[in-house]
Amino acid sequence: MSDRRRERAVGAGFLVRALRISARALGARSVARPAWWLGAALALACSCATASVAWAQDPGDPLPVGPPATGVPNAPPTGQETHAASGGESQAKLPTQEPELPENPLFIHEELKLRIGTDADPEYEKGKTTEIERTWYGPYYEETSGDYQFRMVFPFWLEKQQKDDRESLFGLNYYQRRSDKADADVFFPLFWHFRTDETYTTVIPPVMHSESPHGHQNWVAPLFFEGAWDDGSSYLYIPPLLTFAQSTDHDGFQMAGPAFCWWKGGPNCDARTADDIHLGVAPFYFWGRDNRREYEVIPPLLHYYEYSDIGDTTLNVWGPVVYGESRDTGFFDVLPLFFHNYGPDEEHTTLFPLFHYGYKGPTQSLLVTPLFLNAVAEDGSETFATYLYARHRGRTELDMVTPLFWRYADPDIGQETYVAFPFVYYNSSPRSEDLAVFPFYGHFQRHGIYDEQWFSPLVRYRTDLTGWETDVLPFFFMGRSYQSTHFVLAPVVWDFASPQSRSTVVFPIFWRFADDRKVSTLVANTYYREEKVEGGTDWEVHFFPLLSFGASPQGHWWNILYGLTGYTREGTMSKMRMLYIPIQLSE
């Protein structure tokens, strides 16, 4: 804990400790039970009374004030080896003799015996020995042990003495302590005065004053709080005035009502010494700066300013006026009507909505008005456009009379396109030639690849590298693609053929489906199926619903009315049906 934090820590812990001593003394084994109850009640009452003390330091735990002592740590006793950790100045020597056990390994010192089984602080009662002499005469109690002495006349007076440290409590209101390191005078609840080493603290509620060789603190709670230390740190709080200030030798924050300042890199709010600083009077003015950037904001004037080292750029806003610049470029705008920006060998100006003009380099330029546009590109190509007419001259050419006529040409590839919307389209190039006269005729040709013609929107004829096709929408389709053909006269005739299969339908009389293994045919109520199987052909015929018969390499069968009567032979097995009942004839 730093010196400043030690000096700020306040409380009344010593008074509580003194009362705990009295309760502990009265609770000794040699004291009768009534005295123990009196001591406990006194300790509880005094502890509750002193719990409200919140501004005094605890003299029972004196804290050192000032920078930590420096120097060389205590050297080990002569002849004792110290172990050097890795990276130390010397290496520990390994033992060269066998370790020796003490004469009585199980011996336990008396002081250690007193610590076993308890968490009591052995330093709490200094100078005390194992021999304790107690005296009790009615309200007077005395306990003596070595340099330790405790006396009391309950409830008027308590006193504890340990060598040069004396603590006294008079009538539950006045507490006094005198020692080399700490003094205390407390007249509860009106007066507190403490000394810890060279730190002095005095409290007369609501006033507190603390002073040490390293600094001081002054409080008038809850109106005023102030402190300063020799390391450059300080604070000042005045809540009624909304004033708060806290600083060190390298940073800080200050606020007085709407005014504020936050900084780093210096002891004060000074733009000449701080590396990073932000200040202002909210909500009227804000300013800040760091190593890379500076800004300023004045909301009532609609003003914003910013400067950045990156690109050496600045930006200024004053209401509708916005301007800024960098190393090579800049701009000036009056929103939303006027815009102007410039750079090396270029400049652009807009007066909305009347015109825009800009140029870049020796050739590029752009002029825009409500009536026309004229632009010249870096390669010298030129574009001119109005509401009805547009023209472009460059590597490609475009002429447009909106929306009726379009002409596009690309001399490098020999392409030329014409559109007389919405009736005529023509495109010609070394690769293709297209002509459409909507809705009567269309011819689309890709030389050596395909040729397609339309007669009205319904008749289409096409040839390409894979075959041909003729369509009369929406009922006639016929063509070939590689080795596959199709013929459709919707909705009656459907025929699709390939080297592996063929499907033919003459709806609703004829159906035929064939592939490499099987043929199925349906004509009215007659169905025939034939399929290649192992050993021959499996076929069957059905005259729905009267008669069906068939044969396979293993046998044959027939049925009348699907089982009213019938016969089946398969190999050596045979059976017959009579009135749909199967009758086994042979196995």
Distance between CA atoms of residues 550 and 556, nearest Å? 6
Give, in order, the Cα–Cα distances in Å from 301 to each of 70, 279, 298, 314, 475.
58, 18, 6, 18, 78
Check if the beta carbon of residue 262 is closer than 8 Å to that of residue 253.
yes
The predicted model gives 147-158 an average pLDDT of 90
Confidence of residue 192 (pLDDT cuts 50, 70, 90): very high
User: pLDDT value at position 269?
Assistant: 93
pLDDT in tens, 491-529: 999 999 999 999 999 999 999 999 999 999 999 999 999
Q: What is the pTM of this model?
A: 0.54
The predicted model gives 119-127 an average pLDDT of 64
Say which residues have a Cβ less than 8 Å from residue 52's Cβ, sequence separation at least 6: 189
Say which residues have a Cβ less than 8 Å from residue 25's Cβ, sequence separation at least 6: 39, 141, 143, 150, 152
User: pLDDT value at position 17?
Assistant: 41
The predicted model gives 207-228 an average pLDDT of 96
> Can you give 367-408 as a three-state secondary structure string?
EECCCCEEEECCCCCEEEECCCEEEEECCCEEEEECCCEEEE
Q: Could you give the 3-state DSSP secondary structure of residue 431?
A: coil
Average pLDDT in the chain: 84
Say which residues have a Cβ less than 8 Å from residue 14's Cβ, sequence separation at least 6: 58, 59, 60, 167, 175, 177, 182, 184
Q: Between 67 and 220, name the one with better pLDDT.
A: 220
Share of the chain above pLDDT 70, in %: 82
pLDDT in tens, 24-39: 433 333 333 333 333 3
User: pLDDT value at position 11?
Assistant: 36
Check if the beta carbon of residue 584 is closer than 8 Å to that of residue 575.
yes
The predicted model gives 458-470 an average pLDDT of 95
Give the CA count within 13 Å in the CB-facing half-sphere of 221. Answer: 10
Assigned token pair, 506 = 């003459």
User: pLDDT value at position 204?
Assistant: 96
Neighbours of 15 (CB within 10 A): 28
Assigned token pair, 40 = 């406990």
Q: Which of 77-86, 249-258, 273-282, 475-484 has the lowest mean pLDDT?
A: 77-86
Distance between CA atoms of residues 231 and 249, nearest Å? 7
Q: How far, rounded to the nearest angstrom, does the alpha carbon of residue 340 sit from its chain's CA centroid?
A: 40
Distance between CA atoms of residues 127 and 162, nearest Å? 6
Confidence of residue 69 (pLDDT cuts 50, 70, 90): very low
User: pLDDT value at position 93?
Assistant: 53
Q: Is 499 exposed, middle or buried (0-12, 13-18, 19+ CB in 10 A)?
A: exposed
Q: Is 51 a residue whose pLDDT tops 80? A: no
pLDDT in tens, 6-26: 343 333 333 334 334 433 433
The predicted model gives 188-217 an average pLDDT of 95
User: pLDDT value at position 71?
Assistant: 38
Q: Is 158 a residue whose pLDDT tops 70? A: yes
Distance between CA atoms of residues 156 and 16, nearest Å? 16
Say which residues have a Cβ less than 8 Å from residue 158's Cβ, sequence separation at least 6: 18, 19, 22, 150, 151, 152, 168, 169
Q: Is 92 a residue whose pLDDT tops 60? A: no
Q: Could you give the 3-state DSSP secondary structure of residue 42?
A: helix
Q: Is 351 a residue whose pLDDT tops 80? A: yes
The predicted model gives 464-488 an average pLDDT of 96
Confidence of residue 97 (pLDDT cuts 50, 70, 90): low
pLDDT in tens, 374-419: 999 999 999 999 999 999 999 999 999 988 999 999 999 999 999 9
Assigned token pair, 99 = 């370790």
User: pLDDT value at position 4?
Assistant: 40
Check if the beta carbon of residue 36 is closer than 8 Å to that of residue 27.
yes
User: pLDDT value at position 187?
Assistant: 94
- Please name which of 372, 373, 349, 370 lies closest in space to residue 359, comparing C-alpha atoms: 349
User: pLDDT value at position 361?
Assistant: 93
Backbone angles phi, psi at 544, to 5 degrees: -65, 135
pLDDT in tens, 266-303: 889 999 999 999 999 999 999 999 999 999 999 999 99
Check if the beta carbon of residue 291 is closer than 8 Å to that of residue 275.
yes
**Could you identify the residue written with the tokens 């060269």?**
96
- Please name which of 518, 477, 472 lies closest in space to residue 495, comparing C-alpha atoms: 477
Buried b (16+ CB within 10 A) or exposed e, 328-343: eeebbbeeeeebbbbe
Q: Is 295 exposed, middle or buried (0-12, 13-18, 19+ CB in 10 A)?
A: middle
